[in-house]
Each structure stands twice: as structure tokens, then as C-alpha cells.
Structure 1
Amino acid sequence: MKLTNKEGQAVPQVVFRTRENNQWRDVSSKELFSGRTVVVFALPGAFTPTCSSSHLPRYNELAPTFRENGVDDILCISVNDAFVMEAWAKELAVENVRLIPDGNAEFTAGMGMLVDKSDLGFGRRSWRYSMLVRDGIIEKMFIEPDKPGDPFEVSDADTMLRYLNPEAREPEFIALFTREGCPHCARAKQMLKDRGLAFEEIRTGMGSGVSSRSIRAVSGRSTVPQVFIGGRHIGGADDLARYLSAQ
């Protein structure tokens, strides 16, 4: 299998048939890349294990840091149809990466990355790689090694971020357990919003599947809110206020 490194060359000029807000929209390579700095990562298929558990989620997590380091957009390209890519984005709650369906494999073929995965029942798919594109010109490519299976060693988000800026600091992810109607939870969320800090809210209570026992298991407490930042347990709303004031 011959995989082509196209550093220094222009990206293929194609038109992608995409779906946005349940509507068809044709998007050209020029629209995606012209005058912009774009990180692209390509993968064998939506909903497949490594792609869903690691490749796409990590780029989505690090998107704010990429943007702090001059990246205008992050694109995930796969030889899948627009409906599949749209459903995959919803399934993984992807907000910071744009999923681009290369349904006819025109872009992938133009990149020299179209491979035969008929042994898996996939047909022709993309080899896994990532690249940094500036104004339509490929500056850097990270191509997975030509070995059996589905290697995932160099096209990951962390490798690309280190290339862009070895000193870049990844964000500390924030999660908080809340309950509907809890004023202290509302106060904690507002404090985070006032600081411009993104967070994930884990709602507890009836029908949520998360009980007070779960909260106690991870935090040692059964009250809400319980806030975690960068893997550290901060505590409730008052604890969060003290933590933020010390920053």
C-alpha cells in the first residue's frame, strides 16, 4: 500500500455534499480552506471504535486550545454519507469539530489516502491521518504507519497540538453534578459562565440514572452541586467561589 505525503501541495479541489440542520448544503474545498488555518483529521469510518472513543472526542475536547493557537477550524473527514456523519455528530455531542462526509471518496483519493478495507466489509475507505492546512496548502501531515489493522499512533489531537505549539496548555475540563430546581447549582453554573469557563453538567435525580449514591461514590458527599475541575474535586458552590477567587 502506497501512502502519499503531500506536504507543500494544495488540498484536492472537490465539492462535499453535506447536511446541516437537516438541509442539504454543498461545500467546496475553497470555502473550507481558502485564507484559513485548518486542522484536518481523517479516519476509516463513523461509529467505529477508535474513531468514536478516541480520535474524534479528543479533537473536540482540545478545540478551544487549537483556536488559541491560531487554528480557525477543525475538520473530520470520512468516506461516509452525509446522514451518517450528521447522526454521528449528534451521538457524540460534537460541538467543536466540523464533520465532512466524503461520500464519493473524491477528496480521499485526491490525497492518496484511499485504501481497500474489503476484508472488513468496509469497501474503499480513508487511511487514518491528520494534517495542518494553511490557505489551502498542506504544511504538515501525520500519516499512520503502514501496518496491519488500524494503527492510531500519530494522527491524534495531542500530536498535532504539540506540532503547533509544544508549550500549549490543554484546558482543565470542568464537570458538575446538579439537580433540577437547585439554587446552589444555578449559582455554581453562573459563576463558571461569568468566568467564561466551559463545563459539562451532569443532572441527577428522577429519571437521570444518576443517584445520590453515585454522587457520594465519586465525591464523598450526597449534596449538589459537586464540582470537579481537571480531575480534582472542588466541592459545592461555596467551595467553587473560594477556588475561583484564589485563581
Structure 2
Amino acid sequence: MEHSNREGQRVPQVTFKTREGSQWKDVSTNDLFQGKTVVVFALPGAYTPTCSSSHVPRYNELGPVFQANGVDQVLCISVNDAFVMDAWAKDQNAENVRFISDGNGDFAAGMGMLVDKSDIGFGKRSWRYSMLVKDGVIEKMFIEPDKPGDPFEVSDADTMLHYINPQAKEPEFVTIFTRDGCPHCIRAKAMLKERGIAFEEIKTGQGTGVSSRTLRAITGRSTVPQVFIGGRHIGGADDLAHYFGVA
């Protein structure tokens, strides 16, 4: 099946049934796209392996870079009900992506992307694709090739970012190993937060699954905090202060 490229056309006019807190809320196409620059990536289903391990996490990681390059919002659209999409959003902890439920497949159908996956018990679902939409008009689409299974070759976040700005600077990802009750850990995290640097925190100690032996094997040290920036080991709180040029 050849999936239609709709560049230059307007996105379908549909109403999405979403959940806001414990209430239903209708969200229209205009609510999402009018007057905005929006990146959309659509996928076959919440909680499925490629979607959870690759598609969503990378769009979330690059969310601030998309924003710095003129994108107002990143949307993930899937033919799942609103309860499933809300639960998946919480599970993914993807604060830079808005999850939209296309429960009846109206948007996917309007895009010419509704496909039959009854052979694996999914029923009608969306084909995997991404697009850049400006004020409701589709500027660019990246549609996965017509191959068996669930191809994931062109709708990824990096391909979209490279289209928007080939020279876009990716963020340096930060990981900090900490332990509850550690004042130096609090100090290190404060330095990162003051500079608006997002970070992943890995807690060590009893009950965390990360022992002092594990910490030493990874960092060469047994004390916390231990900070990594862009894959480079910075060290503890004093080392981080030196890295930032703080006396």
C-alpha cells in the first residue's frame, strides 16, 4: 500500500477526545495547529517496543532543541483511547511531548494513514510517519516505507531535526549519581538547575539496585555525587563547580 504524501495540504479537521485530569475535553485540530509550528509523529500503538524504546524517548530528548529552532509543540498521535495514551505518557515521563489520542482513527484516516493490522490483533491503526506542520499546513512529511512489519527508518526525531536545521546543536545529556541525604548531591543538582540543565538522576544505596561497587565500577569512585556530561565524567560537586567556573 502506497501512503499518500500530503505536503502543501492542510491537516484533517477532527476533534480529539482527550482527558484533562479526570474530565473529558474535546481538542480540535485548530486548537493544536492554528498559528503554531508543530512537529507530529504518529505511530501504531502505545507501549509497543519501537514506540516506547526509540520513537518517543528521542523526540522527548530533543524537545528543547526543537523549541530552540522554532517549534511550538511536539505531538505524538496514536490510534489508542485517551486512558491508554495518558497512562503511556506517565510511563514514558516525556515532558516535552504532548500525547494525543486518535481513538477512532479519524485523523489517521484523514491523513490517508489508517492501515489494517488485524493480522496481529490491532485492528485499524496509524502507519508510522512524522510531519512538520505550520499554521495547519503540512510543510514536510517523512513516511515509513511500505515494508512488512513496522519499519522505523525516516520518521525519527533526528531526521526531523536535521530537516528543520542541519546545524542544530544537540544537548549534552547529563547524568548524576546521588544518594538520599547527601548535601553535596543537593549542591550539585542546584548548580545544574540554576543553569537550566536537565539531568537524569540515578540514586545509589540500599534498595536502589545501584551499590557502591557498581558506582566504583562505572566512575572509579565510591563517593557521591558523580556527574557525567555528554558522556564525560566530570566528578563530584567541587569538580562540577570548577567545570562551571564557580569559585
TM-score tier after normalising by the smaller chain length: over 0.9
Structure 1 residues 117-150: Cα deviation after superposition (integer angstroms, max 9, x where no partner): 1111111100000000000000000000011111
Residue 74 of structure 1 aligns to a residue whose secondary structure is strand
Which residue number corresponds to residue 74 of structure 2? 74
Q: Name 1:114's counterpart in structure 2.
A: 114
Where do residues 59-138 of structure 1 align in structure 2 (5 Å cutoff)? 59-138=59-138
Cα deviation digits, residues 43-87 of structure 1 (max 9, x gap): 000000000000010000000000000000000000000011111
Find the aligned partners of 2:24 and 2:210 in 1 and give their Cα distance.
Answer: 38
CA distance in 1, matches of 2:25, 2:133: 23
- Partner of residue 239, structure 2: 239
Aligned residue in 1 for 2:152: 152
Q: Once the 2 structures are TM-superposed, how far is the Cα of residue 2 of structure 1 from its aligned partner? A: 2.8
Q: Distance in 1 between matches of 2:217 and 2:110?
A: 52
Q: For residue 24 of structure 1, report the CA deviation from its aligned partner.
A: 1.7
Taking structure 2 as the reference length, what is the TM-score of the superposition?
0.97
Classify the secondary structure of the residue corresponding to 1:25: strand
The one-letter amino acid of 1:165's match is N
Quote the residue 1:220 is aligned against: 220
- For the residue of structure 1 that corresponds to 2:244, the secondary structure is helix
Gaps of 5+ in 1: none
**Which amino acid is 1:162 matched to?**
H
Count of aligned pairs between the two proteins? 246
* Structure 2 residue matching 1:151: 3-state secondary structure: coil
SS in structure 1 at match of 2:160:
helix
Aligned to 1:14: 14
Deviations 1:29-52 (A, max 9, x none): 000000000000000000000000
Equivalence for 1:140: 140
Please name the residue that 1:201 is paired with.
201
Is 1:168 matched with 2:168?
A: yes
User: 1:213, 1:13 → 2: CA distance?
Assistant: 56
Question: For residue 75 of structure 1, what is the amino acid of its counterpart?
Answer: L
Confirm or deny that 1:28 pairs with 2:24: no
User: Structure 1 residue 37 and structure 2 residue 37: aligned?
Assistant: yes
Structure 1 vs Structure 2 CA RMSD = 1.0
One-letter amino acid of the structure 1 residue matched with residue 214 of structure 2 = S
User: Residue type matched to 1:245 in 2?
Assistant: G
Same amino acid, percent of matched pairs: 76
Deviates more, 1:100-109 or 1:203-212: 203-212
SS of 1:245's equivalent in the other structure is coil
Q: Deviations over 1:162-201 (max 9, x none)?
A: 0000000110011101111111101101111111111111
Consecutive unaligned residues in structure 2, runs of 5 or more: none
Question: How far has the Cα of 1:202 moved from its partner?
Answer: 1.3
TM-score (norm 1): 0.97
Task: Give 1:215's aligned amino acid.
Answer: L
Once the two structures are TM-superposed, the CA of residue 20 in structure 1 deviates from its matched residue by 2.5
Greater mean deviation of Cα atoms: 101-110 or 11-20: 11-20
